[in-house]
Amino acid sequence: MRKNISEEEFMKRLNMMREVYLEKQEFKEKLAKHPEYKEKFYEKFSSNEAKRARMKRKMAQLEFKRCQRMIDNKSCTDIDEKLAMQKALFKQKYKDLNNL
């Protein structure tokens, strides 16, 4: 069922969307004009720290799923395997497991 909104609310939402769109366009133009800014922007997504943090988050999610399954008295062998693989990958890439 659709919710009818007033014309005023509609105009507010439309203006918000326009602002977001224009901000994105300005950002794209800025990236196109300044390649060094573009490199810095993408660098933070590809850095080792970001990758390391992603792997740690994934391991934490797997641990959480494992605990949930244990509480529900379900088998968690598949999650244990995935977790072991992630830990081995992490150990191989970063060599120090002190921060786990």
CA distance linking residue 79 with residue 63, whole number of Å: 8
Mean pLDDT over all residues of the chain? 80
Q: What is the pLDDT of residues 21-40, one digit of tens each?
A: 777 777 777 777 777 766 77
pTM to 2 decimals? 0.49
The CA-based dihedral angle spanning residues 33, 36, 37, 40, taken in that order and rounded to the nearest 10 degrees: 150
Best CA proximity match to 3, nearest among 64, 96, 13, 27:
13
Per-residue model confidence (pLDDT) at position 45: 64
